[in-house]
């Protein structure tokens, strides 16, 4: 756990603080979740007992949302933070066929966890903490653990291709946060999250085109950006 323990996400207060403000920080978060459920229903919903892998699961919200529309799912949730896994266990208490594994992405790539193959691999706002080479290795790992015709869906932040676009996207993000704060009549100022995002060495976003090309090079089909709002995006592909 050495690499993960060096990040902010290993700190309980930081991780819990993020969860409490996630709907404010993450532009269109609820929209992303609805799109994920739509994707699942359209491409996987006909088949029951799908196997789902959630990488960097946080508090388990992705799997919980999918279970709302298909409670026959069996899921494996992986996160490097024990505190996050505990939150996921609380959220998913009462559901059957759920497995929790504490492991960082680096451990996942270099340790044989004896995982089976999956029909869907999902991740949300976690993979951007890896370098591009690490992302490519993780994408390869995901491909190798997908059943034929299985899907990978990643909700994440990306690096805009130019500084001018990035400045605009970050302004959109700030405006959305202010709008949410005003609507909820919150006294705390959450606008500083943008500066913290840019300054954090834990964040290593890459361009959308580089990541889509990496998926294509590995053999993924139907590779595309499924949805995008500024630096926030949903993309993936099919084995």
91 near 66, Cβ under 8 Å?
no
Question: Average pLDDT, stretch 119-146?
Answer: 97
Question: Where residue 14 falls among pLDDT bands split at 50, 70, 90?
Answer: very low
Residue 180 lies in a domain: no
Centre a 10 Å sphere on the Cβ of residue 28 and count the other Cβ atoms it contains: 15
What rounded mean pLDDT belongs to the chain? Answer: 89
Task: Indicate the burial class of 158 (C-beta count within 10 angstroms; 0-12, 13-18, 19 or more).
Answer: buried
Q: What is the pLDDT of residue 186?
A: 67
CA 54/CA 75 separation, integer angstroms = 8
Residue 107 lies in a domain: yes
What percent of the chain is modeled with pLDDT above 90? 70
Question: Average pLDDT, stretch 130-142?
Answer: 97
Q: What is the pLDDT of residue 43?
A: 97
Q: Is the pLDDT of residue 26 over 90?
A: no
The DSSP bridge partners found for residue 238 are 151, 221
Q: What is the pLDDT of residue 192?
A: 76
How many domains would you assign to the chain?
A: 1
Residues comprising the chain, all counted = 239
Q: What is the pLDDT of residue 10?
A: 44
Residue 232 lies in a domain: yes
Residue 194 lies in a domain: no
Q: What is the pLDDT of residue 111?
A: 86
Q: Is the pLDDT of residue 177 over 90?
A: no
The H-or-E segment that residue 156 falls in is strand 146-157
DSSP 187: -
Question: Average pLDDT, stretch 11-22?
Answer: 52
Tens of pLDDT, residues 58-81: 999 999 999 999 999 999 999 999
What percent of the chain is modeled with pLDDT above 70? 86
Residue 167 lies in a domain: no
The parent domain of residue 109 ranges over 2-161+204-238
The H-or-E segment that residue 73 falls in is none
- Which carries the bigger pLDDT value, residue 191 or residue 118? 118
Q: Is the pLDDT of residue 49 over 80?
A: yes
Tens of pLDDT, residues 186-226: 666 666 788 888 998 999 999 999 999 999 999 999 999 99
Q: What is the pLDDT of residue 5?
A: 55
Residue 221 lies in a domain: yes
Question: Where residue 55 falls among pLDDT bands split at 50, 70, 90?
Answer: very high
CATH at residue 140: 3.40.50.150
Residue 178 lies in a domain: no
Question: Average pLDDT, stretch 89-94?
Answer: 94
Residue 186 lies in a domain: no
């Amino acid at each position: 756990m050495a690499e993960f323990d060096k990040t902010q996400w290993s700190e309980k207060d930081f991780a819990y603080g993020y969860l409490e403000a996630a709907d404010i920080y993450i532009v269109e978060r609820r929209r992303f979740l609805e799109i994920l459920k739509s994707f699942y229903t359209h491409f996987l919903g006909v088949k029951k007992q799908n196997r789902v892998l959630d990488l960097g699961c946080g508090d388990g919200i992705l799997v919980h949302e999918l279970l709302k529309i298909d409670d026959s799912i069996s899921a494996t949730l992986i996160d490097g933070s024990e505190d996050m896994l505990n939150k996921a266990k609380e959220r998913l208490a009462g559901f059957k066929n759920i497995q929790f594994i504490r492991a960082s992405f680096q451990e996942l790539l270099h340790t044989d966890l004896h995982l089976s193959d999956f029909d869907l691999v999902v991740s949300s706002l976690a993979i951007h903490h890896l370098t591009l080479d690490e992302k490519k290795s993780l994408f390869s790992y995901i491909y190798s653990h997908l059943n034929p015709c299985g899907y990978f869906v990643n909700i994440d932040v990306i690096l805009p291709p130019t500084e001018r676009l990035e400045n605009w996207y970050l302004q959109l993000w700030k405006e959305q946060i202010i709008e949410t704060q005003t609507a909820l009549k919150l006294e705390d100022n959450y606008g500083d999250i943008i500066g913290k995002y840019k300054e954090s060495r834990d964040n290593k976003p890459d361009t959308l085109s580089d990541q889509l090309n990496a998926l294509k090079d590995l053999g993924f089909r139907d590779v595309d950006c499924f949805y995008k709002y500024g630096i926030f995006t949903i993309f993936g592909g099919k084995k």
